[in-house]
Amino acid sequence: MGDGMRYVVAVPARLESSRLPGKVMADIGGKPMLRRVLDRCGQARAPQAVVLCTDSEELIAAAESWGFPAIATSPACCSGSERIASVVEQMVDLAGVPVERTVILNVQGDQPFIDAGVIDAMADEFERRGPAAEVLTPVYRMGADKVHNPNVVKTLVSADGRALYFSRSAIPHVRGVDPSDWHAHVPFWGHVGIYGYRAEVLARWNSLPASPLEGIEKLEQLRLLEAGIGIGTFAVEGESLSVDTAEQLEQARAIAASTGD
């Protein structure tokens, strides 16, 4: 493709999530959530490979039984990006090209309805933007019902599409307006929760300075922004449900039941 870039989808996952333990193996319409994620990633045309990154032997065995490679990572990893960064050399090997031509597409293991088209759209964005793009992430126009939900991550986007900040709070603050009406005054952008990284960025992950904002918001992408690494955004239609709570798990099950998926 293009300048010879190659793409690997990495799905970081752990069995014991703090808010909803065991969620990645939770049943959704007859399939474990993690299998839904891997299967949908496998439908994308751009990636050379789809690989699970986890510290769980149970998840490794499950992924391999479903036909997906898995890479063992340390249980000490504090975020999905750190987990992927710790094995980036192995993913460059899967890409089959040098590190400077490898892009890692990070898809969270708790997005059971991730659209393979969004993964391909991210690869297309890298091709269009060329070497200048270090990190890309998709955003969507958020409905009024999600603006003040702290379980839905918001992105503040500049006029030229750069991500200025990510937060669990509603950003920007619309001064002098009742919060229930903020959506009528400014577009709010939600974060789909997948990232495309130049492999060189991930190779530098552990050398990036500690990020107070990452610790406060519990959002790993803030480490990049605090370190001066730009994150480009591109708009996609709709959103992708991330399952962080028991309520969202029931919502996912309802979606699967209603669509027959």
Under CATH, which architecture does the 6-259 domain have?
Alpha-Beta Complex (3.90)
pLDDT at 1 over 60: no
For the chain, give the longest Cα–Cα distance: 56
Residue 83: name the closest of 37, 140, 15, 35 by CA. Answer: 15
Four-residue CA torsion sign, 204, 206, 210, 215: positive
pLDDT tens digits for 137-170?
999 999 999 999 998 899 999 999 999 999 999 9
**Residue at token pair 């063992």:** 72
pTM of model > 0.75: yes
Per-residue tokens: 132: 């200048």
Q: Which of 110, 103, 63, 57 is nearest to 84 (CA)?
A: 103
Phi, psi of 141, rounded to the nearest 5 degrees: -70, 120
Averaged pLDDT, 31-49 = 95
Q: Are 235 and 138 in contact (CB under 8 A)?
A: yes
Q: Tell which residue, 151, 107, 110, has the closest CA to residue 24.
A: 110
